Structure 1
């Protein structure tokens, strides 16, 4: 049973709002399409593999490295797949786009006294590519990445490094993310409110619920709901 809700949050008592990038602000369809279609098709076109075999190769490697720094590392993927991931991604940058309601949310967020932090696992090249496209970092006071601490947000080490380096009181923080493992890690570390985005990819339906024993996330379709809650006070 969900006990937290957006109405429980007193935004005047929040010091820092930590916001994920992909699947929270940016449409995950760009990344989904790249890993399931664009990359396998490129591998098939430049090797002797059939397209389905190439797709299975990408999928299997993703499953082996999920939740680790390797999963997020473009250099690792380049070495493992034998193709230049950066060079393949760049021509498709026009597919990078905001999720519905993201810009409305960012405008509402700026009205708070709280610090606004972009918190992402994205590889520095991808962060740069997406910022070049949409100027996403301009909406935040600070950007923190898994590469700052060599630990993904799924890891307790990320949250320990975040508090030791910046002195955050996690109980006065909000974490907004589409990843259940990230939100579990944030909540275990002591983050006051964990908000799960249930519709991270505009080309797919809602994600399954992240609620389980010991974890209680606020589940919303999109960050537009947070903007509306902020306006209501």
Structure 2
């Protein structure tokens, strides 16, 4: 008979990305970008949209203007996209399978949680309407930080607000800029790519989805375990 596995302490906190991680909103973003560019006489492809995944919004706005050739400023692009996205997300957030359940399991277990997103406050507020009040101990948005992902500031800010050591936190991300931000902040990182690729790296956990993922596994990741079930590419 195998000895019982010793109990594992939960993470100090679980830090959640929003777009592409908790909710599958990337198709909404790409549709909004495509419509906006078409309305202004430019061209935009699905591949162009994927290249923006995980970036700070003003960076994405700059890239969109440069690639599409439309006569808008990056700020005007961001404002227009956010307006469309808020309408799409408010009251009907498209959660990834199992994401909401794991989030609420963390809350029920008393594990502090933070939302760390490069979307701005208007969109995070619309998303939060799909969750019970107080689900997140803090929310860090792209318009609240000086340096967006892949800079570590967003995750360092979240950990500081929660009063926890980033090294004992698990950050869940779907994009390389987000993963790089969390790793630079010293967090244990679980990459769960959906529309873009996150390559393997020593110490980086990767899973295809939330199925089978529970609070106990998050504790093991926080303690230093690495789980990578994705192809080495």
Query: Same fold by TM (over 0.5)?
Result: yes
Q: 3-state SS of the aligned residue for 1:143?
A: strand
Separation of aligned partners in 1, 2:61 and 2:132? 20
Separation of aligned partners in 2, 1:158 and 1:64? 18
The alpha carbon displacement at 1:32 in A equals 2.5
State the Cα RMSD in Å: 4.0
Separation of aligned partners in 2, 1:208 and 1:231? 22
1:1-233 → structure 2 map (5 Å cutoff): 12-27=9-24, 30-35=25-30, 37-44=31-38, 46-47=39-40, 49=41, 53-55=42-44, 59=48, 67-68=55-56, 70-71=58-59, 77=74, 79-80=76-77, 84-93=80-89, 96-132=93-129, 134-135=130-131, 138-162=134-158, 167-191=163-187, 193-198=188-193, 200=194, 207-212=196-201, 215-227=202-214, 229-230=216-217
Instruction: In structure 1, list runs of 5 or more residues that go unmatched.
Output: 1-7, 202-206
Check conservation: 1:178, 1:197, Cα contact below 8 A. yes
Separation of aligned partners in 1, 2:164 and 2:171? 13
TM-score of the superposed pair, with normalisation by structure 1: 0.68
After superposition, the Cα gap between the structure-2 partners of 1:11 and 1:17, relative to the gap in structure 1 and judged at 3 Å, is: farther
Instruction: In structure 2, list runs of 5 or more residues that go unmatched.
Output: 63-71, 221-233
Check conservation: 2:8, 2:219, Cα contact below 8 A. no
Summarize deviations over 1:75-102 as a string: whole Å, max 9, x none: 9645258x83344334433763111111
Aligned residues: 206
Larger RCO: Structure 1 or Structure 2 (Cα < 8 Å, ≥ 6 residues apart)? Answer: 1
Check conservation: 1:16, 1:173, Cα contact below 8 A. yes
